[in-house]
């Protein structure tokens, strides 16, 4: 992990508060990314999101926190989606989560996290004029310490094009972990240009982000 992962200036007091941004803040349709790797601007800190069942996350930058009501399967009035995200030269880092009223909604909601990522990446590809152009890889089961064991707790890797700041197609690499704790489902994700990911050297900072997730023991 990067040497500054244990920076003495870890920020331990980030809590979610209400705002009303578009859901694309988390889905990353307007990302503007440059390079990947262990860059000097990564300033890792512990984040303790409010209403997240005690989850601790490690972010390499101070995330903005938002929430809004979004349409959700099995919830006619919609669900309150909490979102944290921040951007560095190494990528855009995001965590989103919502709490469900019924245990029967857990498995469908985990599936919906994957489907919504596919839909939004497909929409981004369409905006770039390249057609669907979406490829995906099931990375298999993932483990967040303290999470609720579920078959649907998996890692995913997606690649799709989106328009860059000048409207040109930009190949994006998106990694996402989907998991749950109790009645709350989570998506943690990292969004980076595919070329930057291929060119990186040393340990993948995305792995530091994902493996920094944990619930109380």
CB 23 within 8 A of CB 36: no
Q: What is the DSSP letter of 183?
A: T
Q: What is the pLDDT of residue 2?
A: 43
For the beta carbon of residue 3, count every other beta carbon within 10 angstroms: 8
What is the spatial distance between Cα 183 and Cα 174, in angstroms, rounded to a whole number? Answer: 26
- Asked if the structure places residue 109 within a domain, the reply is yes
The whole-angstrom separation of Cα 151 and Cα 94 is 23
- 119-132 pLDDT, tens digit per residue, is 877 776 666 565 55
For residue 194, the surrounding DSSP H or E stretch is helix 194-199
Q: Is the pLDDT of residue 69 over 50?
A: yes
**DSSP three-state, residue 53:** coil
Cβ neighbours of 165 (radius 10 Å) = 8
Q: What is the pLDDT of residue 57?
A: 97
Residue 134 falls within a domain, yes or no?
no
161 lies in a domain? Answer: no
In a domain, 166, yes or no: no
Q: Which residues contact 157 (CB under 8 A, 6 or more apart)?
A: 136, 137, 139, 173, 174, 175, 176
* pTM beyond 0.95, yes or no: no
Mean model confidence pLDDT for the chain: 78
Number of domains in the chain: 1
Mean pLDDT within 47-73: 95
Asked if residue 128 is part of any domain, the answer here is: no
How far apart are the C-alpha atoms of 200 and 4, rounded to whole Å?
A: 18
* CA dist., res. 150 & res. 181, Å (int): 10
pLDDT band at 13 (very low <50, low <70, confident <90, very high): very low
Look up the domain containing 75 and give its range: 3-119+180-210
Is 175 part of a structural domain of the chain? no
List Cβ neighbours of 137 (8 Å cut-off, separation of 6 or more): 156, 157, 158
Helix (H, G, I), strand (E, B) or coil at 187: strand
In angstroms, the CA 187 to CA 190 distance is 10
Residue in this structure with the two tokens 């921040």, named with its chain if needed: 86
Asked whether residue 79 is assigned to any structural domain, the reply reads yes
């Amino acid at each position: 992990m990067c040497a500054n992962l244990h920076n003495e200036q870890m920020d331990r007091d980030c809590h979610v508060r209400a705002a009303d941004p578009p859901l694309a803040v988390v889905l990353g349709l307007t990302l503007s990314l440059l390079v990947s790797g262990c860059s000097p601007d990564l300033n890792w800190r512990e984040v303790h999101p409010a209403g997240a069942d005690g989850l601790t996350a490690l972010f390499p930058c101070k995330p903005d926190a938002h929430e809004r009501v979004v349409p959700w399967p099995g919830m006619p009035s919609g669900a309150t989606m909490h979102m944290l995200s921040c951007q560095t030269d190494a990528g855009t880092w995001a965590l989103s989560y919502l709490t469900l009223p019924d245990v029967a909604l857990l498995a469908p909601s985990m599936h919906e996290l994957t489907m919504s990522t596919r839909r939004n990446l497909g929409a981004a590809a369409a905006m770039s004029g390249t057609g669907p152009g979406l490829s995906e890889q099931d990375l298999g089961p993932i483990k967040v310490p303290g999470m609720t064991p579920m078959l649907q707790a998996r890692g995913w890797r997606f690649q799709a094009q989106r328009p860059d700041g000048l409207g040109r197609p930009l190949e994006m690499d998106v990694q996402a972990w989907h998991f749950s704790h109790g009645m709350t489902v989570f998506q943690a994700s990292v969004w980076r240009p595919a070329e930057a990911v291929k060119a990186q050297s040393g340990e993948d900072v995305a792995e530091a982000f994902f493996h920094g997730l944990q619930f109380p023991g």
